[in-house]
Amino acid sequence: MTDLLVNQRVSLVQILKIILCLLPQAILFSMPAVCLMGVLLAFIRLSADNEIVALNAAGISLYQIMAPVILFSFTGYIITSLIAIYGVPWGNRSYRDVILGIMRTKMDVAIKERVFYEPFEDKIVFLVNSFSSKERTMKDLFVVDMRDPSVTATIIAKKGKIISNDGADIVTIRFMEGAIFANEMDFNKARTIKFDSYDLNIDMDDVMSSMVSRERAPKEMYMNELIENLKKSNDIDSDNLIRIKLFEMFSIPLATFILGLIGAPLGAHLKGKGYTRGIILSLIIFLAYYISFMGVRYICETGILSPSIGVWIPVFLLLFICVYLLVKTINYRSFGFLKWLLEQ
10 phi-psi bin (left φ>0, alpha ψ -120 to 50, beta other)? beta
| Separation in Å, CA 33 to CA 44, 92, 142, 272, 292 | 16, 22, 45, 22, 15
Domain assignment of residue 77, given as a range: 2-102+224-342
Per-residue confidence (pLDDT) for residue 79, from 0 to 100: 96
Number of H helices, E strands in the chain: 12, 5
- Find the mean pLDDT for residues 247-267: 91
Same domain, 229 and 188: no
For residue 117, being part of any structural domain is answered with no
> What's the predicted TM-score (pTM) here?
0.73
Residue 242 CB-density burial (10 A; 0-12 exposed, 13-18 middle, 19+ buried): buried
Cβ pair 267, 43 in contact under 8 A: yes
Residues 199, 230: one domain?
A: no
176-202 confidence digits (pLDDT tens): 999 999 887 766 778 888 999 998 877
Query: Do 34 and 177 fall within a single domain?
Result: no
Tell me: do 313 and 244 sit in the same domain: yes
Residues 267 and 230 in one domain: yes
Q: Which is higher by pLDDT, 251 or 265?
A: 251
What per-residue confidence (pLDDT) applies to 101? 73
Sheet of 137-145, strands arranged across: 124-132, 137-145, 151-164, 170-184, 190-203
In the chain, the amino acid numbered 11 is S
Most confident of 7-16, 66-75, 205-214, 279-288: 66-75
Same domain, 304 and 236: yes
pLDDT tens for 95-120 read 888 877 776 666 666 677 788 877 66
In angstroms, the Cα distances linking 230 to 86, 234, 243, 297 are 18, 8, 7, 18
Q: Find out whether 129 and 139 touch, Cβ atoms under 8 Å.
A: yes
Residue 173 Cα distances to 45, 162, 170, 257, 263, angstroms: 63, 5, 10, 53, 57
Tell me the residue length of the chain.
Answer: 344
- Of the candidates 168, 203, 238, which is a domain's last residue? 203
Distance CA 131, CA 258 (A): 48
- Residue 174 belongs to a domain: yes
- Looking at the predicted structure, is the pLDDT value of residue 338 above 60? no
239 and 90, same domain (yes or no): yes
Using an 8 Å Cβ cutoff, are 91 and 23 in contact? yes
142 and 127 Cβ atoms separated by less than 8 Å: yes
Q: What is the pLDDT of residues 145-160, one digit of tens each?
A: 887 778 888 999 999 8
Domain count, the chain: 2
Weakest-pLDDT range from 225-229, 295-299, 324-328: 324-328
Interatomic CA distance for residues 314 and 264, integer angstroms:
20
Residue type, 248: E
Same domain, 92 and 233: yes
**Amino acid at residue number 69:** V
Q: Is 91 in the same domain as 9?
A: yes
CA dist 31 and 44 (Å) reads 20
| Same domain, yes or no: 294 and 146 | no
**CA 122 to chain CA mean position, Å:** 23
* Alpha-carbon dihedral sign for residues 142, 148, 149, 151: negative
Specify the range with the lowest mean pLDDT, choosing from 19-23, 58-62, 83-87, 286-290: 58-62
Residues 286 and 149 in one domain: no
Instruction: Between 234 and 155, name the one with better pLDDT.
Output: 155
Check residue 59 and report its DSSP letter.
T
- For residue 19, give the H/E element and its range: helix 12-48
Task: State how far the Cα of 81 lies from the Cα of 343, in Å rounded to an integer.
Answer: 38
Q: How far apart are CA 46 and CA 33, in angstroms?
A: 20
Report residue 9's pLDDT band, with 50, 70 and 90 as the boundaries: low
Return the ∠ at Cα 235 (arms to 230 and 238), rounded to 5°.
65
Supply the mean pLDDT for the chain.
81
**Cα-to-chain-centroid distance, residue 309:** 22
- 125-149: average pLDDT: 82
217, part of any domain: no
How far is Cα 7 from Cα 327, in angstroms, rounded to an integer? 57
Distance CA 33, CA 185 (A): 54
3 state SS of 335: coil
Regarding whether 133 and 71 lie in a shared domain, the answer is no
Domain edge (last residue) among 203, 232, 256: 203
Lowest mean pLDDT across 11-15, 96-100, 202-206: 202-206
